[in-house]
Structure 1
Amino acid sequence: MKKLLLLCMTAMFCFACSESKTVTVTVTNPLAMERSNEIVEVSMAEISNQLNLADTAQIVVLNADGRQVPYQITYDEKVIFPVTVAANGNVVYTIKAGIPETFDVKACGKYYPNRLDDVAWENDLVAFRAYGPALQAKGERGYGYDLFTKRDTTEPMLEAMYAKETDKARRAELNELKKTDPKTAGKLLREMSYHIDHGHGMDCYAVGPTLGAGVAALMVNDTIVYPWCYKDQEILDNGPLRFTAKLVFNPLNVKGDTTVVETRLITLDAGSHLNKTAVSYSNLKEALPIAAGIVLHEPDGAVVTNAADGYITYVDPTNGPNNGKIFMGAAVPTVVKEAKAVLFSEQEKKQRNNADGHVLAISDYEPGSDYVYYWGFAWNKADIKTPEAWNQYMADFAQKVRNPLTVSISK
């Protein structure tokens, strides 16, 4: 009995010790601009070791005022949380054992086998999808990323949009109405379609056989080696602050070599207009140019190409007369050798659903490495209203990824 009591007291003492222990996380901003709601990450293993946490223990992250901030433990064992740091400043956060509050989901996604194998994801600002093998099996050439605009909500919206779009019973009703009452059928189709803005956004973007909203692709003799739809998918993180998906593709034909396999790791964090994507190619035999690209839907559209600072932008006209403008962008933290708009020939325009070309940020890819870049958009019906504001966002974003926040941990 005495031994049991001693063991219980020892356990309680250890728990009390872990409760009182804290880890200090100092975040430093090297730039002369404020960094607001930017996600940082620290090692969960290091936090656990310093706090002497049990396997089932939970943690809380506190700001300088002692208030909890949302966090997530990622698939690769990182603790991520949003920080705000003044220009050239630093800020301190504290991590300790505790019961976290419930926080809203700001980033999430899903695999949709009932919509031709789409993988679709979103955060509080933007939404995207990548096309899958069922679409490719139909012969459709959906090479690029697609996007969904988003406004007047920070909550997840895609699942509800897909539910309406893929409702089997209503689809059957629609097919019957098309035969007997085309007017009512048209009304029902508009109610179901995610190509119509019902108050929070829509799909009004054209992809087709192009790089779409920001796919990166190898180039051989200035010719893009287009990927097709993904072959395999795995969702690794699903909120509340980060969505991560791994996509693996069928082998490419690169200079006659049909063994080159592309893998993408796509990450979207809460509060960001841009995805981070790491692209790698197995079995590639030599270094080649790689281009992050955005399709052009006007031959003389508003394009910004800044190779020195590592970003490109484009104002997309959208599908439909009243759907506003979509501000597209991509940023590359490493060297961009060339940034330019490349227009299609008349013959290639016909092959690419009458798209006009691409704006490209071209770098070098070394076999065995990861090519990391960022891509995304804003909508002028949402938080960023003008091309000037978007270009400034992209210029600032490009600086941030080239000058990341530094994070240090101490007891």
Structure 2
Amino acid sequence: MNKIVLLTATALGACLWGCGNPQTVTVTVTNPLDAERTGEMIEVPAAQVFQSLNLPDTAHIIVCNAQAQEIPYQLTHDGKLIFPVSVSAKGTEAYTIRQGTPAETDTVAYGRHYPERLDDIAWENDRAAYRAYGPALQQKGEQAYGYDVFTKNTDRLVVEDRYAMELDTAAWAKINALRKAGKKQEADELVRQISYHVDHGNGMDCYAVGPTLGGGTSALMPDSAIVYPYCYKEYEILDNGPLRFTVKLTFNPLVIGNDSDVVETRIIRLDKGSQLNQTTVTYANLSQPTPVAGGIVLHAANAEGYAHNAQEGYIAYADPTTEPQSDNGIVYVGAVFPDTAVQTKVQLFDKPAGDALGHVLGICTYRPGDTFTYYWGSGWSKYGFDTDESWTDYLKAYAKQVRHPLQVTVK
């Protein structure tokens, strides 16, 4: 496994000295739950930290835990200082921050726009990888409304290499030449060698989206009917590692009831160590409270492989992958809802859309001027989740955490 923080002996010595230095800020973190919380990301106001240390916001700082060990951090686009913490059940931990040069930190949360692949936005962390489809795909007429899931079984960043391999122009020139020469078998074999739909040792794209909400997309539901958003219109990457990736997506106007210019905006963020993306959704120009859902597509090969529980705040599905007969494992997909008034249910299509039967949904009420925040994401049976129950247990624990956040004070 890659080291996330690389500490030299000098840097470690500096941290040991700095954590006892009076010129420090103390961040106290209390866990209200009776379960240990490990590697959870917290946020503190960066301006408060720099002001307390009498430092400009361009100064370098070091964060240490109670054992005087330096830990990685990131300054985010919205003025937060974030870093991972571990707190025992019903426990309290103290972290200190001081001026100093931080140790080198590997980037473990990263994404970008891929204009060379029809405007995909793809991103990943050390646990999972995702994709949102863009305007170039929409212009082709392909119906792909939802989020896509890329499986991975490594903490290394792999998506960039997958796209480079899949879109290798020299390889495709050779493939086309072989096909033109009637050498279909050789051409097909070369396609397999470069395709990200084939597992080359670190995961693959084996998840089907189509005209559905895919792996957790949000949608308004006036009169119980899903109004599908299409591909994003505009994007802005707000944070790009080392610990958090954040992207803002803006969509084309929708017609919702009597409102003909409803514009959806999503802010999606993925942190180190998390299977799930936090997503905050707003709808401009919506005049009335309207149901809004986060949904997961159900496929025919595992029609009963879902679970949902409104009281515990989650929906889940064990997706059989695009080729259930192959050794692609199971893609576990789920969503978590902080809103305790969420309703969960299965809603089937009037008739199947290909092999898609419908969705498992978590439904809340969106009120004009408000926000809808929920969490969605995935796991893989070849990377830490060996049963359906292990995945639902993860979602249940995650829901408890977002409904009972860590209590953070800064002094």
Q: What is the TM-score when the length of structure 1 is the normalising length?
A: 0.92
Instruction: Give ranges in structure 2 of 5+ residues lacking alignment.
Output: 1-17
Which residue of structure 2 aligns with residue 317 of structure 1?
320
> 1:58, 1:99 within 8 Å by CA — same for their partners in 2?
yes
Q: 324, 327, 332: which is aligned to 1:327?
A: 332
What is the identity, as a one-letter code, of the residue corresponding to 2:126? D
* Superimposed CA distance per residue, residues 99-151 of structure 1 (whole angstroms, 9 cap, x where no aligned partner): 00001111110110000000000000100000000000000111000010011
Which residue of structure 1 aligns with residue 101 of structure 2?
99
CA distance in 2, matches of 1:116, 1:201: 22
Q: What is the total number of aligned residue pairs between the two structures?
A: 388
> 1:335, 1:363 within 8 Å by CA — same for their partners in 2?
no
Which residue of structure 2 aligns with residue 232 of structure 1?
234
CA distance in 2, matches of 1:322, 1:292: 29
Out of 165-174 and 325-334, give the one that drifted further: 165-174
* Superimposed CA distance per residue, residues 218-261 of structure 1 (whole angstroms, 9 cap, x where no aligned partner): 00111001000000011000001000000000001112532000
What is the identity, as a one-letter code, of the residue corresponding to 1:79? L
What is the identity, as a one-letter code, of the residue corresponding to 1:361? G
Please state whether the residue corresponding to 1:186 is helix, strand or coil. Answer: helix
Which residue of structure 2 aligns with residue 139 of structure 1?
141
* Superimposed CA distance per residue, residues 299-343 of structure 1 (whole angstroms, 9 cap, x where no aligned partner): 632211101121111111111121111111100001344211111
> 1:301, 1:316 within 8 Å by CA — same for their partners in 2?
no
Q: 31, 53, 56: which is aligned to 1:54?
A: 56
Q: 119, 122, 142: which is aligned to 2:121?
A: 119
Out of 237-246 and 177-186, give the one that drifted further: 177-186
CA distance in 2, matches of 1:353, 1:256: 32
Matched ranges for 1:69-84 at <5 A: 69-84=71-86
CA deviation after TM superposition for structure 1 residue 289, in Å: 0.5
Please state whether the residue corresponding to 2:171 is helix, strand or coil. Answer: helix
1:308 matches 2:296: no
* Superimposed CA distance per residue, residues 17-56 of structure 1 (whole angstroms, 9 cap, x where no aligned partner): xx85100000000000000000001011000100001343
Please state whether the residue corresponding to 1:356 is helix, strand or coil. Answer: strand
1:389 matches 2:394: no
Please state whether the residue corresponding to 1:207 is helix, strand or coil. Answer: coil
Matched ranges for 1:144-155 at <5 A: 144-151=146-153, 153-155=154-156
Out of 372-381 and 251-260, give the one that drifted further: 251-260
CA distance in 1, matches of 2:97, 2:340: 36
CA distance in 2, matches of 1:378, 1:400: 18
Q: What is the TM-score when the length of structure 2 is the normalising length?
A: 0.92
CA distance in 1, matches of 2:409, 2:22: 20
Matched ranges for 1:240-279 at <5 A: 240-279=242-281
CA deviation after TM superposition for structure 1 residue 394, in Å: 0.7
CA distance in 1, matches of 2:330, 2:284: 38
CA distance in 2, matches of 1:241, 1:55: 19
Which residue of structure 2 aligns with residue 402 of structure 1?
403
> 2:31, 2:92 within 8 Å by CA — same for their partners in 1?
yes
Which residue of structure 2 aligns with residue 159 of structure 1?
160
What is the identity, as a one-letter code, of the residue corresponding to 1:167? D
Which residue of structure 1 aligns with residue 173 of structure 2?
172
Please state whether the residue corresponding to 2:179 is helix, strand or coil. Answer: helix
What is the identity, as a one-letter code, of the residue corresponding to 1:159? E
Which protein has the larger Cα radius of gyration, Structure 1 or Structure 2? 1
CA distance in 1, matches of 2:78, 2:266: 16
Matched ranges for 1:189-208 at <5 A: 189-208=191-210
What is the identity, as a one-letter code, of the residue corresponding to 2:253? P
What is the identity, as a one-letter code, of the residue corresponding to 1:260? V
Q: 342, 347, 362: which is aligned to 2:347?
A: 342
Please state whether the residue corresponding to 1:214 is helix, strand or coil. Answer: strand
CA distance in 1, matches of 2:341, 2:277: 18
> 1:107, 1:122 within 8 Å by CA — same for their partners in 2?
yes
CA distance in 1, matches of 2:348, 2:160: 36
Which residue of structure 2 aligns with residue 367 of structure 1?
368
Which residue of structure 2 aligns with residue 285 of structure 1?
287
What is the identity, as a one-letter code, of the residue corresponding to 2:121? V
Following TM superposition, where does structure 1 have runs of at least 4 consecutive aligned residues deviating by more than 6 angstroms? none
What is the identity, as a one-letter code, of the residue corresponding to 2:312? D
What is the identity, as a one-letter code, of the residue corresponding to 1:326? V
> 2:303, 2:357 within 8 Å by CA — same for their partners in 1?
no
> 2:38, 2:87 within 8 Å by CA — same for their partners in 1?
yes
CA distance in 2, matches of 1:161, 1:99: 34
Please state whether the residue corresponding to 2:84 is helix, strand or coil. Answer: strand
CA distance in 2, matches of 1:34, 1:318: 33
What is the identity, as a one-letter code, of the residue corresponding to 1:308? Q
Out of 50-59 and 356-365, give the one that drifted further: 50-59
Please state whether the residue corresponding to 1:230 is helix, strand or coil. Answer: coil
CA distance in 2, matches of 1:339, 1:69: 39
Which residue of structure 1 aligns with residue 189 of structure 2?
187
CA distance in 1, matches of 2:291, 2:58: 47
Instruction: Give ranges in structure 1 of 5+ residues lacking alignment.
Output: 1-15
Please state whether the residue corresponding to 2:288 is helix, strand or coil. Answer: coil
CA distance in 2, matches of 1:32, 1:378: 25
RMSD: 1.3
